[in-house]
Amino acid sequence: MTETLHPEETITSFLLIRHGHTRATEEGRLYTDPEAPLTEQGRHQAAAIAAWLPGQKPDLLLTSPSHRVRSTADLIAAVIGIEPQIVAGLNEWHVGEWENRTYLDIKKSEPELYARWSADPIHNAPPGGESVVDLCARAERSLAELIAKHEGKRLALVTHAGIIRGIIVHALGIPVENFWRIMIPTGSISRVDFSVNFASLHYTGLRPGGADGKQSSLGRD
């Protein structure tokens, strides 16, 4: 009798959706949870995702508490007919006193503070905020909780670029120093599958409904 080298494992699949475009995103502002409404472009992105998502047959639609993310999830839910569930751990990088500021503003007004942070932007945290290491650990904890609760399901997570980067870093087993090298445009989708012994990244930065009517991973924020 021979054993199967790679026994079949239960796979939990995640469709990681970044919220639609906002004006603050375009201005390069650091923001955890302001009342930032979606722009017309952001609503168009959400509509394109909503039209594409039913073909992926998600079992659940999850969202962070943030206004811009819930707005995106609500537009998707209205089309696919799945009520979004809020998951607090999916919220964006906590930037503390840097809320609603840009890197350029911080660099100009507080050059010494900015220099200290930018010397190691992975382990250093903004004043009153969390480091990227902390963010990735939070994303990993939330991910583990979701897998334990919904093992074997396909989950659509409407969330933020930071959370998606953290999940991808964890899935690939790469050093957290690669965090800022992963591009996650607004209105894009990334897919990662997990089982007990492996994880696989299928795609990242996918934007459904390009100008030519085809799926596209390209496009400006």
Q: Alpha helices of the chain — where are they, by DSSP H?
A: 23-26, 40-52, 67-80, 103-109, 111-118, 132-150, 161-172
Tens of pLDDT, residue by residue over 143-185, are 999 999 999 999 999 999 999 999 999 999 999 999 999 999 9
Tens of pLDDT, residue by residue over 83-129, are 999 998 999 999 999 999 999 999 999 999 999 999 999 999 999 99
Range of the domain at 44: 12-206
Q: Say if 212 falls within a structural domain.
A: no
Phi, psi for 86 (deg, rounded to 5): -85, 135
- Number of structural domains the chain divides into: 1
Q: Say if 196 falls within a structural domain.
A: yes
Q: Say if 61 falls within a structural domain.
A: yes
Q: Say if 18 falls within a structural domain.
A: yes
Q: pTM here?
A: 0.90
Q: Say if 38 falls within a structural domain.
A: yes
Is residue 62 within 8 Å of 157, Cβ to Cβ? yes
Q: Say if 6 falls within a structural domain.
A: no
Q: Say if 211 falls within a structural domain.
A: no
Domain containing 97 — which CATH number? 3.40.50.1240
DSSP letters for 201-221: EEEEEEBSS-TTSS-BS----
Q: Say if 220 falls within a structural domain.
A: no
Buried b (16+ CB within 10 A) or exposed e, 90-106: bbbbbbeebbebeeeeb
**CA-closest candidate to residue 179, choices 193, 200, 199, 162:** 162
